[in-house]
Amino acid sequence: MKTKDKAEENKICPLEVAVNTISGKWKVPIVWQINEGKKRPSEFLRGIAKVDRRVLNQQLNEMVEDGILVKQSFNELPPRVEYTLTELGEKLVEILWQLNDWGKLLVPENEKI
């Protein structure tokens, strides 16, 4: 019985991996901002209310590590950094649009924008 339990513990659930990859208060808003054409951290700070620069940088770095974003540093003064979506990130945008459509079904008719 213990062998069966261990085998089940070691299985990887793709849904759990996906949810963990985009978990974080600001990751979905960051993807939305990049999809709208914003690429620099200062633009994210202006476009996302109440996000702390340190937390923003941490979540951007996690998204680069997860393969959702690419970070490009320019050798200029002052230093400039830009982020763009990878192919994997663009697929995430497609899924977020589908999730947005699903969310519309959950909003009462009198509260829709």
- Closest C-alpha to 70, from 56, 86, 59, 58: 86
- What is the reported pTM? 0.80
What per-residue confidence (pLDDT) applies to 4?
53
Domain annotation for the chain: domains and CATH numbers? 14-101 (1.10.10.10)
Helices and strands (H, E) in the chain, number of each type: 6, 2
Q: Please give the chain's pLDDT, 113 residues, in tens.
A: 455 555 556 678 888 888 888 888 899 999 999 998 889 998 988 888 888 999 999 999 999 999 999 999 999 888 899 999 999 999 999 999 999 999 888 888 767 66
What per-residue confidence (pLDDT) applies to 110?
67
